[in-house]
């Protein structure tokens, strides 16, 4: 990260040349425009100076990143975050705020709901967020009409809290629907017509072609697959998907839900052991997969991993052409043979949806716990309503938007992306290939993507390789980021690609089907920070004794969530839900708080920054995993090892967490950290996930432990944080 002690008024032509505008005439012209803009903002505080710079488009997406750094860090060179809160980079206008989904609804309903306290969507946002927490029935009755949610039988009410055995209440009781059908049918509000483009996509190997699938064709393809599922499986069966997030994967996902089956989500990066665990826990009766994964012209095996994992029926889709590129087992079936099973039907492209009570299971997703086996979390028809609401309210997904987010149906972001797009009336943009390539960036440009989701690791790679140079991303109205902590300088680079559009930070959980803290287009935004609790979400920050800090006080502590969250889990397939999320949590205003596990900091000015996990779950490259899982693999990596302890720490300047392995060696053995690092990385990538990498190995004589012999990973984490802090100052 570039650091500058010069204030913006002290920056000269030489600084601009040094920052990357190497042609002197160009640097002089930039300096002239910059000085003119600063003159307009004379005497204003740095936030207003930066706002002027952005509004006047002084900085262009094609300017070298060094120039963007020079201006941003110079504007905020004497900014004291400890007294003023984080520096802000994006500010909503009143005009834009009234056109946002949430702002439009506030303008219509705000005066009635908030009375004379209502001013406008920007000034009254915090008040309206608080209202949504205290009056969820009133809020949801408005918002449900804004989404493409159609009930076969309407709910008796919004929320029933009479059953005290359900701390999260009963949401939309008595309602019956099929949430997949809601994604596929035309609608008047939000407007979805039969010939609207539902999905736009491109194959990595053919950068000249954009494919479009219209809503009518999309629905017919989903219904064809739903009919084929009925010929192969029994109602209620769990059916896995383990493949990249392609058009076919999306069609299969919605077909499984439409036909009353249950999706089992498995990421395509998992090793065979991890696939086997998820198939076993979910009791899956079948799995959709591909023969290979294609990345950068190279083929990587996928079907062979599925075969190694389990003997359940696999339906195999070829990555290229119509023929699978390998021999299948007897019980398995090619995609073409599977689809041909409905040829005898008079209307194979028509399917009558299976309508279910709103709390029926539709999807089993997995989130790593601290006990080894991943937690199997059940999504119902409620969960998509919740997550698409977040897309509607916070990301501001509107009809006509083109929404792209490189992810996978094995991670919670896959279903969130799918439902948020279709229930808000937008177009889903899919790239069949690596998101790290320039080809992906060209797809974003050519497809006219308006909202681009990312994880910080991807942004870091784009910035470091400079692979997006020369592409036009100015159609983007916003970015989103989730999965891990964002780095301020990487976010500066990303936002600058589209004239400093906002990056909506999202932090939540698979079990919440949503975010509990987010950015919002009705509030100023700060890089790497969250500006608000999400709509209808109440939470407190707890001190070490479980006592909540006052709501307006800057502090650091564990999050305690209000239990009344529509769409949040009320069951786990393989663990005690109450024990995992409620046991031991304090009471607050007569309700037992729900555990999430994050440690967060509330800044001056009311912004939030995630500080890590309260338990020993870690976040590596946007993937949550447990210390226990990693330690099991590392303990077996080398005969000299007595035991290992895995922790993760954030770099001093922010960004994705680093994996650190502490090692105690057996007596009489010596070890070299670099050699162990290579062995651990190989073992983890082969047995857990090829995306994980070890950053440091530390050999120690013994581990710190409690009186009852429990390993104190927190102490090791603090030691490593201190060491990294010292290194950064050298």
363 and 459 assigned to the same domain: yes
Lowest mean pLDDT: which of 157-161, 314-318, 608-612, 677-681?
608-612
Give the residue from 415, 313, 316 showing the smallest Cα distance to 364.
415
Bridge partner list, 625: 618
CATH of the domain at 632: 3.30.300.30
- Indicate whether 673 belongs to any domain: yes
Number of domains making up the chain: 3
pLDDT at 544 over 90: no
pLDDT at 477 over 50: yes
Confidence class for position 4, pLDDT limits 50, 70, 90: low
Average pLDDT of the segment spanning 591-601: 91
Long-range contacts (CB closer than 8 Å, 24 or more residues apart) made by 121-128: 121/94, 121/97, 121/522, 122/92, 122/94, 122/97, 122/522, 122/523, 125/520, 125/522, 125/523, 125/532, 126/532, 128/102
593 and 620 assigned to the same domain: no
Average pLDDT of the segment spanning 524-549: 95
593 and 663 assigned to the same domain: no
631 and 580 assigned to the same domain: no
- Indicate whether 436 belongs to any domain: yes
CATH of the domain at 517: 3.40.50.12780
Residue 57 is predicted with a pLDDT of 97
Residue 708 is predicted with a pLDDT of 42
List, for residues 47-92, the tens digit of each pLDDT value: 999 999 999 999 999 999 999 999 999 999 999 998 999 999 999 9
Instruction: List phi, psi (to 5°) of 473.
Output: -110, 25
212 and 321 assigned to the same domain: yes
What are the Cα distances from residue 502, in Å, to 213, 413, 457, 530? 29, 20, 18, 12
What are the Cα distances from residue 547, in Å, to 147, 542, 589? 38, 5, 12
557 and 686 assigned to the same domain: no
pLDDT at 41 over 70: yes
Name the helix (H) or strand (E) containing 614.
none
Confidence class for position 707, pLDDT limits 50, 70, 90: very low
- Indicate whether 47 belongs to any domain: yes
What are the Cα distances from residue 519, in Å, to 351, 516, 606, 706? 39, 10, 12, 39
pLDDT at 562 over 70: yes
Confidence class for position 643, pLDDT limits 50, 70, 90: confident
- Residue with the larger pLDDT of the pair 705 and 268: 268
Can you tell me the distance from the alpha carbon of 257 to that of 266, in angstroms, rounded to the nearest whole number?
16
Confidence class for position 666, pLDDT limits 50, 70, 90: confident
Residue 705 is predicted with a pLDDT of 73
- Indicate whether 134 belongs to any domain: no
Can you tell me the distance from the alpha carbon of 701 to that of 678, in angstroms, rounded to the nearest whole number?
21
- Indicate whether 150 belongs to any domain: no
What is the signed CA dihedral for 303, 309, 313, 319, rounded to 10 degrees? -10
Can you tell me the distance from the alpha carbon of 513 to that of 385, in angstroms, rounded to the nearest whole number?
9
Domain final residue, candidates 79, 99, 127: 79
634 and 584 assigned to the same domain: no
422-425-429 Cα angle (round to 5): 60
Instruction: Report helix angle 136-143 to 125-134, nearest 10.
Output: 110
* Percent of the chain residues topping a pLDDT of 90: 78
Residue 706 is predicted with a pLDDT of 54
**Is the separation of the CB atoms in 598 and 613 below 8 Å?**
yes
Residue 689 is predicted with a pLDDT of 87
524 and 636 assigned to the same domain: no
Lowest mean pLDDT: which of 161-165, 171-175, 280-284, 372-376?
372-376
- Taking residue 410's Cβ as centre, other Cβ atoms within 10 Å add up to 28
- What does the mean pLDDT of the chain come to? 93
528-422-437 Cα angle (round to 5): 50
pLDDT at 621 over 90: no
Domain final residue, candidates 79, 108, 130: 79
Bridge partner list, 660: 647, 696
**Is the separation of the CB atoms in 628 and 645 below 8 Å?**
no
pLDDT at 691 over 50: yes
501 and 540 assigned to the same domain: yes
**Is the separation of the CB atoms in 437 and 467 below 8 Å?**
yes
Determine the structural domain holding residue 25 and report its residue range. 8-79
65 and 189 assigned to the same domain: no
393 and 516 assigned to the same domain: yes
Domain final residue, candidates 51, 79, 107: 79
């Amino acid at each position: 990260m570039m650091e500058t002690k010069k204030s913006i008024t002290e920056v000269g032509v030489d600084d601009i040349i040094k920052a990357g505008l190497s042609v002197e005439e160009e640097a002089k012209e930039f300096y002239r425009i910059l000085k003119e803009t600063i003159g307009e903002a004379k005497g204003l505080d740095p936030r207003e100076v930066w706002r002027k710079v952005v509004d006047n488009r002084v900085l262009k997406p094609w300017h070298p990143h060094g120039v963007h750094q020079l201006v941003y860090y110079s504007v905020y060179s004497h900014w004291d975050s400890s007294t003023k809160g984080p520096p802000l980079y994006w500010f909503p206008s009143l005009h834009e705020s009234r056109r946002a989904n949430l702002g439009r609804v506030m303008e219509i309903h705000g005066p009635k709901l908030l009375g004379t306290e209502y001013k406008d969507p920007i000034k009254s946002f915090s008040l309206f967020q608080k209202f949504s927490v205290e009056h969820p029935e009133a809020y949801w009755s408005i918002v449900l009409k804004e989404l493409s949610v159609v009930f076969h039988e309407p709910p008796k009410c919004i929320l029933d809290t009479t059953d005290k055995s359900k701390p999260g209440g009963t949401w939309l009781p008595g309602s019956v629907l099929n949430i997949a059908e809601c994604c596929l049918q035309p609608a008047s509000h939000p407007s979805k017509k039969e010939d609207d483009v539902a999905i736009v996509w491109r194959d990595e190997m053919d950068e000249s072609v954009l494919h479009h699938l219209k809503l009518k064709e999309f629905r017919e393809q989903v219904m064809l697959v739903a009919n084929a599922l009925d010929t192969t499986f029994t109602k209620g069966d769990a059916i896995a998907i383990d493949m990249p997030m392609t058009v076919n994967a999306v069609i299969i996902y919605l077909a499984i839900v439409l036909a009353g089956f249950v999706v089992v989500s498995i990421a395509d990066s998992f090793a065979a052991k991890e696939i086997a665990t998820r198939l076993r826990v979910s009791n899956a009766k079948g799995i959709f997969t591909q023969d290979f994964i294609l990345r950068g012209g190279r083929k990587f095996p996928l079907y062979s991993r599925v075969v190694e994992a389990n003997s359940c029926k696999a339906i195999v889709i070829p990555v290229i052409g119509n023929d699978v590129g390998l021999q299948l087992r007897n019980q398995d079936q090619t995609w073409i043979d599977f689809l041909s099973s409905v040829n005898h039907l008079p209307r194979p492209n028509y399917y009558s949806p299976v309508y279910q009570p709103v709390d029926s299971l539709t999807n089993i997703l997995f989130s790593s716990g601290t006990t080894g086996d991943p937690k199997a979390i059940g999504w119902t028809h409620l969960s998509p309503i919740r997550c698409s609401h977040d897309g509607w309210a916070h990301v501001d997904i509107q009809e006509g938007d083109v929404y792209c987010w490189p992810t996978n149906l094995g991670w919670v972001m896959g279903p969130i992306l799918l439902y948020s797009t279709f229930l808000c009336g937008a177009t889903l943009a899919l790239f069949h290939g690596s998101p790290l390539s320039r080809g992906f960036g060209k797809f974003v440009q050519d497809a006219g993507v308006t909202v681009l989701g990312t994880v910080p690791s991807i942004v870091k790679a784009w910035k470091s390789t400079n692979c997006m140079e020369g592409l036009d991303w100015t159609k983007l109205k916003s970015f989103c980021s989730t999965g891990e902590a964002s780095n301020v300088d990487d976010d500066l680079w990303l936002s600058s690609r589209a004239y400093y559009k906002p990056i909506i930070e999202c932090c939540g959980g698979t079990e919440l089907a949503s975010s509990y803290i987010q950015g919002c287009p009705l509030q100023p935004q700060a890089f790497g920070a969250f500006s608000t609790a999400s709509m209808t979400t109440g939470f407190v920050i707890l001190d070490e004794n479980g006592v909540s800090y006052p709501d307006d006080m800057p502090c650091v502590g564990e999050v305690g969530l209000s239990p009344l969250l529509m769409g949040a889990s009320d069951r786990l397939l393989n663990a005690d839900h109450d024990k995992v999320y409620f046991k031991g949590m304090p009471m607050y205003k007569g309700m037992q708080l729900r555990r999430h596990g994050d440690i967060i900091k509330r800044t001056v000015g009311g912004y939030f920054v995630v500080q890590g996990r309260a338990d020993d779950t870690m976040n590596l490259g946007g993937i949550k995993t447990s210390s226990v899982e990693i330690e099991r693999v590392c303990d077996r990596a080398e005969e000299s090892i007595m035991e290992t302890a895995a922790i993760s720490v954030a770099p001093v300047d922010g960004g994705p967490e680093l994996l650190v392995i502490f090692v105690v060696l057996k007596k009489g053995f010596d070890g070299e950290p670099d050699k162990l690092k290579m062995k651990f990385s190989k073992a983890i990538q082969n047995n857990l996930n090829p995306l994980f990498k070890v950053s440091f190995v530390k050999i120690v004589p013994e581990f710190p432990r409690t009186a009852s012999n429990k390993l104190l990973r927190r102490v090791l984490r603090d030691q490593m944080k201190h060491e990294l802090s010292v290194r950064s100052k050298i």
